[in-house]
Amino acid sequence: MSQRTLILLGLVFVILLGFTVLLRNQPPPQPTIEDADVVYYTVFSDFTAVDIQAVRLQDPNSERALLLNRAPFGAWTTPEIIGTFDPQVGENIARTLEILPYSRTVEIGENATMADFGFAPNGLLLVQILLMNGDSHVIAVGGLTPTQDSYYALIDERPEVYVLQRAAVDFLQVQLFSSPIS
């Protein structure tokens, strides 16, 4: 190998070494405010996805609804719709409801109206859950919060309004408005 080739390879090595050092000295990306400041809790602690017998998703404004039942062998079915249903869709909905995340609750003030929380008059989404033991839960989803990253919701007959994670509610809405039948 000639001296000229060695010098050229040495120069390439020094440039690559400098580039590597420069990249390693970059500050790490900062987490977003949402990642750093928001802590999520689970709305329901009395059931898991396997405890759910049936789920009904409904748009109270159009009366569009999707009813899912768990068959005796455990797979999810859609008794009101004829066609081939992917039971994984039902499982994903059940898991979403199991871990349904909220960041905080809001007390309903004396002067507050339900329209303040997006229920003018009906809200956005109604979710009914029937458990294997016969218990049931109802979630009435109102409008988006002012920050547009969460939804207001009423849970069962609890006295406060829950601030639900937007991604979970959006997922449930997509399942309601997309065709679960192939």
For tokens 């002012």, the residue is: 146
99 within 8 A of 166, measured Cβ to Cβ: no
Q: Which two tokens stand for residue 148?
A: 């547009």
Q: Which residues of the chain have pLDDT under 70?
A: 1, 17-19, 21-37, 179-182
Q: Which two tokens stand for residue 117?
A: 């929380």
The Cα 87–Cα 104 span in angstroms is: 32
Instruction: Name 23's Cβ contacts closer than 8 Å, sequence gap at least 6.
Output: none
Q: To which H or E segment does residue 35 belong?
A: helix 33-37
The Cα 58–Cα 128 span in angstroms is: 8
Q: Does domain 37-177 have CATH number 2.60.40?
A: yes
The Cα 162–Cα 50 span in angstroms is: 24
Instruction: Name 134's Cβ contacts closer than 8 Å, sequence gap at least 6.
Output: none
Q: Where are the domains of the chain?
A: 3-31, 37-177
**Residue type at position 29:** P
Q: To which H or E segment does residue 109 belong?
A: none
